[in-house]
C-alpha cells in the first residue's frame, strides 16, 4: 500500500521520506513509520522524566486547586496559542466533568472572549490581556494557572504578577528551564524539554492528572463531611 504526497514533501528530520527513485512520489513507509515510533518514544520518555522530576509539584498544584474549589473559589487559566487551547480544554474538564459524575467546578479560561481580548489589547497592549481580566474577575482565594512553554510569555507573566497582587495562589506550567514563570509561581511544574510539541503533550497530560486528583479529592471531602 502506498500514499500519494505532493512532490514538495521530500524529507523528515534529515532523511528522505519520498523514494526519489519512484516517479509517482510514493511514501517510503519504513522511514515514515520509524519517525512515528521515534516521536512517540521521545514523548513517552519525557513523560517518565516528568513523573520522576515533577511528581511532587504536580500533587502540590492539585491540592491548591482542590482547596480553592472546596472553599468556593475558582480557577483562572490562560496562555497563548496551544497553551490557550490547553487553558480552554482544562476549564471545560472542570466545569463539565472529567470522569466522575459530579457538580460543576468553577473554572474560567481567559482566552475565549474575543471582545475583551481585542479591547484590552487595543487600549492597553497585548501584554495586559490576561492581567486586566484577573483584575476584574479574581477574588482572594482563587487560583491563577499560567501556561507558557517557554516560561517567558509577557502577558502570562503580567497576569501572574497581578494575581499575586490580589492574593491569589498561582500555578505555573512551563517548559525548558521554567523561565520567569517558574519564579513567579507559588507552585511551578516545568517540563524539562526544548521541543515545544513534546512540552505541550506533557502539559495536557499533567492537566488531566490534576482533573483526576481533584475529582477524587472532592469526592473524598464530600464523603467525610
Among the ranges given (28-32, 46-50, 171-175, 182-186), the one the predictor scored with the smallest mean pLDDT: 28-32
Residue 4 has a pLDDT of 45
Q: Taking all residues of the chain, what is their mean pLDDT, rounded to a whole number?
A: 91
Residue 75 β-bridge partners: 107, 143
60-80: pLDDT as tens digits = 999 999 999 999 999 999 999
What average pLDDT score do residues 14-28 get?
Answer: 56
Burial label, 129 (beta-carbon count in 10 A; 0-12, 13-18, 19+): buried
152 confidence band (pLDDT: 50, 70, 90): very high
Residue 27 has a pLDDT of 74
What average pLDDT score do residues 160-174 get?
Answer: 98
Residue 7: its H or E element = none
17 confidence band (pLDDT: 50, 70, 90): low
Angle between helices 82-95 and 196-224 (to 10 degrees): 20
35 confidence band (pLDDT: 50, 70, 90): very high
DSSP 180-205: HHHHT-SEEEEE--S-HHHHHHHHHH
Pairing of strands 75-79, 143-148: parallel
Domains and CATH numbers, the chain: 54-224 (3.40.50.10490)
170-180: pLDDT as tens digits = 999 999 999 99
With a cut of 80, say whether residue 91 has pLDDT above it. Answer: yes
Residue 12 β-bridge partners: 15
Could you tell me the pTM of the whole model?
0.88
With a cut of 80, say whether residue 136 has pLDDT above it. Answer: yes
With a cut of 50, say whether residue 8 has pLDDT above it. Answer: no
What average pLDDT score do residues 202-224 get?
Answer: 95
Cell of 74: 475558582
Amino acid at each position: 500500500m502506498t500514499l500519494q504526497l505532493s512532490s514538495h514533501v521530500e524529507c523528515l528530520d534529515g532523511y528522505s521520506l519520498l523514494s526519489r527513485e519512484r516517479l509517482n512520489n510514493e511514501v517510503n513507509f519504513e522511514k515514515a513509520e520509524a519517525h512515528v515510533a521515534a516521536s512517540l518514544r521521545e514523548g513517552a520518555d519525557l513523560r517518565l522524566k516528568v513523573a520522576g522530576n515533577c511528581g511532587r509539584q504536580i500533587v502540590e498544584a492539585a491540592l491548591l486547586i482542590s482547596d480553592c474549589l472546596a472553599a468556593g473559589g475558582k480557577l483562572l487559566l490562560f496562555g497563548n496559542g496551544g497553551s490557550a487551547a490547553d487553558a480552554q480544554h482544562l476549564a471545560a474538564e472542570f466545569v463539565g466533568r472529567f470522569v466522575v459524575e459530579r457538580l460543576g467546578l468553577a473554572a474560567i479560561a481567559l482566552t475565549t472572549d474575543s471582545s475583551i481580548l481585542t479591547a484590552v489589547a487595543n487600549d492597553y497592549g497585548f501584554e495586559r490581556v490576561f492581567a486586566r481580566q484577573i483584575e476584574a474577575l479574581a477574588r482572594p482565594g482563587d487560583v491563577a494557572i499560567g501556561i507558557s512553554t517557554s516560561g517567558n510569555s509577557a502577558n502570562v507573566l503580567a497576569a501572574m504578577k497581578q494575581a499575586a497582587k490580589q492574593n491569589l495562589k498561582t500555578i505555573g506550567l512551563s517548559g525548558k528551564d521554567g523561565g520567569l514563570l517558574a519564579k513567579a509561581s507559588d507552585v511551578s511544574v516545568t517540563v524539562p524539554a526544548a521541543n515545544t510539541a513534546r512540552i505541550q503533550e506533557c502539559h495536557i497530560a499533567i492537566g488531566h492528572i490534576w482533573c483526576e486528583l481533584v475529582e477524587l479529592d472532592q469526592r473524598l471531602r464530600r464523603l467525610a463531611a
